Structure formats: structure tokens, C-alpha cells
Amino acid sequence: MSSMKRYMQFVKPYNFQIFLTIVIGIIKFAIPLFIPLLIKIVIDDIIGAKGLTNDEKITQLVYWLGGTALVFLIVRPPIEYYRQYLAQLVSNKILFDIRKKMYIHLQKLSLKYYSNTRAGEVISRVINDVEQTKNFVMIGLMNVWLDLATILIAIGIMLTMNVKLTLVTLLAFPFYAFSVKYFFGRLRDLTKERSQALAGVQSYLHERVQGMSIIKTFTLEKHEQKIFNDTNGEFLDAAVKQTVWNAKAFAVVNTITDIAPLLVIAYAGYEAIHGRLSVGTMAAFIAYVERLYSPLRRLVNSSTTLTQSFASMDRVFELMDEEYDIEDKKGAYTLEDASGEVTFSNVSFQYEKDGQMILENVDFRVNAGETVAFVGMSGGGKSTIISLIPRFYDVTSGQVLIDGKDIRDVTIESLRKQIGIVLQDNILFSDSVKSNILMGKPDATDEEVIEAATAANAHDFIMELPQGYETKVGERGVKLSGGQKQRVAIARVFLKNPTILVLDEATSALDLESESLIQDSLERLASNRTTIIVAHRLSTITHADNIFVIEDGKVMENGSHGQLMKQKGIYYNLFQIQQLDTD
């Protein structure tokens, strides 16, 4: 299905409003078409009338001009208002619907998609490209029809006045149509390239603005300026290519529309000299030629704008056609009241089909209510294991089970409701502290929010903030310290009250005071629920019921802290090294 046909599915609910807008618009554009006819009446039937006295001519002039003025003063203003209002209202509603569907789609795309796609590229499509499609509604579905209606009405009036002169007026039409078809076919590809290049600039800026501290720390300003100049230069090249082709199109098409009135003036003048055409009719025709070719020039402008819209439509639907890696299978059921037993059965995993195997034949079981830890060197596969539990990714082979049920057989929503995650670097949104905590349970009461914050050792510092719970935390929580951000993140997990708790390096990047507060709140949070910890510092997980040592995607050892120390294997060596470092 073409992009335009798919776009029309969003337009369909507003067909009546669009039809009404077009009807009102036709009336709006039709009213001024009376002016050339009025010129003819004034010249031929009033000024040139031989049987009328000057007083009668003035009376007639007042009659015609007064009536026309009343139409323009009384009828046209409300018509102009409602045409503009309805056109903008409908087009903005359509964009709202498209963005709504796109956002639903974006939330269903897997983390694999986001790891392979720059955020700026996605934002550019949702904001810029969707906005560009508005021109299709305003111009393609409304203005083009109004311009065509204006042309047809003008031609109809002209035919009643003089058929031959009308045909002369239309001589340039075939050349106009051919030139539009020739030039604007190529323009769509060039416009799409320009949009892609613009998205590249936006993606680059989005990443660099977020990482400005790195640029300043490493004094990379000159280096980054060079990269930005190259990226911006690619956009300039694409924009210039489009501009050159666009300028050629306008040069040819406007030349054709400028020559057409000369033909009319020449033929009408010849006919008037020979007495076969009145001066009033000639003047009216010259006025009608401008009324006729102004819409044609607008159609040329519209062609350029519509080309941009079609290119943007293609980019919008390319994004909407991205397939879901993770979705509910047919017949998936709701996972309710899980006890929290987690089992990995012969699990292997790789991020890409032809990529490196990250996990190989991993087997383990976590009993309900147990606390287990995964340790090992960086890159061994620990974080991958915990990403498979909430189905951020699907296993390549084997099974992940909760309470003995394959997680691919249950709905994603019900699965993730059972799991709470606290990361090393938790993302907070640039909203209030309260709003960030409420993400754990959006319908929670203020009392529940305060209770969760208190349990997370966050209530005291929140109350010291300028607006307390209503204090805005800034983008990614930039206005809070690392420890404060972590406690807000823990508070929202308290509010969620999940059956399974996952802690991924939750205290590794904190100062001692923050770590002590957070360790206390995490112990409280882990009470009476299945807890899975990924830890770098082994001293923080010695209390775990079971510890799994992961190396090169495999479980190399497992047991309690005491058991593993007695084995004097990998875990023992890691622990000894860390103790020496601490000492």
C-alpha cells in the first residue's frame, strides 16, 4: 500500500469536515471571481452605455459597487474565518492521531531497535516529518481542490463571454502540465534525501547536547565542531541539490504562466481593434487571466510542498513498519500473583543472528523469596541474564520460566508488572519528584508516595527541596545527586511492590554515605521477595542465598559465599583481589 493510501486512513474520520472546508473555500475563492465581470459591466454597461445620463450612470455604479462591497464586508469575513479555522483544526487533529499511533508503536519496539537507532532520528520522524505531512492535508486535500475549482469557475465564466479568447487563454496549459510532471518526479527523491540529512544533523545534536560534559571535559570543542561541520555540510549538499532542481522547475513553469497573458492581450487587442470585442470584455479577460494563472502558480508551489510531504510520509511509514522483536504471542495469558520462582533452562542468547554468542546453555533456578547474585568480570553476560527475565530480549534458544511458566506464553504487561528493576544509572524524567515516583504506580495516593519515599530513605531529602515532592528534577534527574536519584528510583520500585526484584550494580557508583542509606533501603525492599543482584563489589552480596559466577556467558560456579570461598576457585580469587584493593 502506498504511503498516501495509508495516510488517507488517518484522514478518513475527518472526511466530512474536509468536504465542508472545501465547500466554504470554494465560496471564498468564487466571490473575488466576480471582480473581472464587474470591470466589464462598469466599462461596457455603465461608462460605455449611450442611453444613460451621467446621473443614471453614477446610480448604476453605486448600485453595483455597493452591492459588491456588502458581499465582501458581510459574507466574506465569516467564510474566511471558518475556512481557516476548519482547515487548521482538521489538519492538527490528523497529526495528533498519527503521533499518537507512532508513540504506541515506539513503545512496542524492542530495546534492540533503540540500541541500533539514534534517538535524534526517531525524534525527527515523529516531530519534523509528521509536521511536514500537514501540508498534504492543507494543500493536497484542500487548497489544490480550491485552486482547481477557481480555475474551472473562471473558465466557465470566460466561456460565456468569448469562446475563442478562452481557448487562446488555455493554450499554455499542456506545456504547464508537462513541465510539472517532468520536474516534480525527481524532486520527491531529492526531498527525501534532504529530510534524511536533516535527521542526521538533529541526531548528532541530540547526542552531543546530552554529552556536553564529556566534550568539555576532554576539550573536544574543535574536534566536535569539525564533525558537526561535516554533518551539517551533508545537509547543505542535499538541500542545494533540491534547491537547484526546484529553481529549474520554477523557472520553466513560471515562464510558461507569464507568457500566457501576453497571448491573451495580443489576441484580445487584435479583436478589439477590429471591433469584434468590447473594451470591457478585453479588460475582464485580462483580469481573468491573472485569476486563472495565480492558482496555477500556487499549484506549482503546492507541488514542491507536496513533494516534501510525500517524502516525509515515506519516512513516517518506514518507522511505523519497523517490526516488533518482542510481542505477545497469540493466546498469551495474564501472569497473576506470581510466587517469584525464576528458572533458566538451557538458555543461549546472541544479540544479532550472526553475532557473538553472549550466553551459552545457562541453567539455574532461583526459588521464590530467595536472594541470588551474579558476579564475574565485565562482559561475561550478567546484565544480559537480567535483561532476559522481563523479556527486553528473547532467548535465542532454551527457556526462561517464572513459576514454571515460559515467559513467552504470558502477556508482556503482566510479566513486567511482577518485576521491579533498580539500575546503576536510573533514568529520571524532567518532571517532579512525585511524578517520577508515581511511575511505579500511577494511581497511587499521596500517602502511598510518601510511604514509598520514606521506605527508600528519600522522604527527608525530598522535603528539603525547594518545592518538596513537586520539585522538578531536570532532564535525566540532573538537579539531584547520584544518591538522591537512586533513592527516588528505589521509591518507585517500593510503590510498584513487585514479586521479583532485580538490582543491577545499584550501589557501585555512590559515595559511602549514600551507599549506606541505599543499602539499608534495598535490604528493606528485598525483604520477602525474590531478589536477583548483579554486583561488582562482592562484599555487598555475601549474604545472598546463592551466588552464580558468570564467565564468557556460562555459569562457572555457584553456591553460598562460604561454599565458594572453600572451593578456592574463580569467586575466591576475585574476592581476594577485591579485599587487597580495599585494604
* Model confidence pLDDT, tens digit, residues 37-90: 888 888 888 887 777 788 888 888 888 888 888 888 888 889 888 888 888 899
**Predicted pLDDT at 25:** 87
Enumerate residues 6+ apart whose C-beta is below 8 A from 302.
Answer: 139, 140, 143, 144, 147
Buried b (16+ CB within 10 A) or exposed e, 315-338: bbbebeeeeeebebeeebeebeeb
Least confidently predicted of 312-321, 379-388, 400-409, 537-546: 537-546
Q: Which pLDDT band holds residue 265 (cuts at 50, 70, 90)? A: confident
Neighbours of 117 (CB within 10 A): 14
d(CA 109, CA 363): 28
Write out pLDDT tens, residues 397-430. Answer: 999 999 989 999 999 889 988 888 887 777 788 8
For 527, counting Cβ atoms within 10 Å of its Cβ (0-12 exposed, 13-18 middle, 19+ buried), the class is exposed
**Predicted pLDDT at 96:** 93
Tell me which of 206 and 324 has the higher pLDDT. Answer: 324
Share of the chain above pLDDT 70, in %: 96
Q: Which neighbouring-strand residues pair with 348? A: 397
Cα 445 to the chain's mean position, in Å?
32
Mean pLDDT of the residues in the chain: 84
Write out pLDDT tens, residues 105-129. Answer: 888 888 888 878 877 788 888 888 8
Place of cell 471582480: 35
Q: How far is CA 125 from CA 132, 133, 178, 202, 312, in A?
A: 10, 11, 33, 10, 8
Phi, psi of 206 (to 5 degrees): -60, -45
pTM, entire model: 0.74
d(CA 491, CA 449): 8
Q: What is the mean pLDDT of residues 347-358?
A: 86
- Strands of 371-375's sheet, edge to edge? 419-422, 500-504, 530-534, 371-375, 546-551, 554-559
d(CA 357, CA 414): 29
Q: Which pLDDT band holds residue 583 (cuts at 50, 70, 90)? A: very low
Q: Which pLDDT band holds residue 511 (cuts at 50, 70, 90)? A: low
Does residue 580 surpass a pLDDT of 80? no
DSSP strands (E only) in 87-235: none
Neighbours of 361 (CB within 10 A): 15
For 439, counting Cβ atoms within 10 Å of its Cβ (0-12 exposed, 13-18 middle, 19+ buried), the class is middle
Q: Which pLDDT band holds residue 507 (cuts at 50, 70, 90)? A: low
Share of the chain above pLDDT 90, in %: 11
Does residue 488 surpass a pLDDT of 90? no
**Predicted pLDDT at 185:** 66
Q: What is the mean pLDDT of residues 362-388?
A: 89
Cα 192 to the chain's mean position, in Å?
17
Q: What is the mean pLDDT of residues 189-210?
A: 79
- Contact yes or no for 257/176 (Cβ under 8 A): yes
Between β-strands 357-366 and 500-504, what pairing exists: parallel, antiparallel or unpaired?
unpaired
- Strands of 397-402's sheet, edge to edge? 357-366, 342-350, 397-402, 405-406
**Predicted pLDDT at 506:** 65
Tell me which of 203 and 511 has the higher pLDDT. Answer: 203
**Predicted pLDDT at 537:** 79
Tell me which of 414 and 299 has the higher pLDDT. Answer: 414
Q: How far is CA 115 from CA 288, 378, 381, 393, in A?
A: 59, 19, 17, 12
d(CA 371, CA 547): 9
Cα 105 to the chain's mean position, in Å?
10
Q: How far is CA 166 from CA 228, 285, 395, in A?
A: 56, 8, 73
Phi, psi of 158 (to 5 degrees): -65, -35
Tell me which of 41 and 303 has the higher pLDDT. Answer: 41
